[in-house]
Amino acid sequence: MMRLVAFILMILGGVNWLMIGGLQYDFIAGIFGLQSNIFSRIIYVIIGVASLYILVVTVFNKGRLKLFGYKKKKVKRNEELEDF
């Protein structure tokens, strides 16, 4: 769940940078007032930490990012033989 939230925050930050570069509009600063506003700065820090978290998780998982933690069900060898 934490990876999914971090991924969504990272996408929000990417869209914000796209808007800054393309439209010269800062979405986060537009919501909270100015860029120097404390709430805007806190959101920038949270998005930055989420991006670093996604980077670290991806590096440790050898380039794979699993947003959902589905685990494969282990099947015992005896149960496999009974199915046939």
Place of tokens 């996604």: 54
User: The pTM is what?
Assistant: 0.66
User: For 2-61, how does the pLDDT look when each residue is reduced to its tens digit (9 = 90+)?
Assistant: 888 888 888 888 888 888 888 888 888 888 777 777 888 888 889 889 888 888 888 888
CA distance 31 to 57: 30
Hey, is 46 helix, strand or coil?
A: helix
**Per-residue confidence (pLDDT) for residue 32, from 0 to 100:** 78
Tokens of 15: 């869209």
Residues composing the chain: 84
Q: How far apart are the C-alpha atoms of 27 and 49, rounded to whole Å?
A: 18
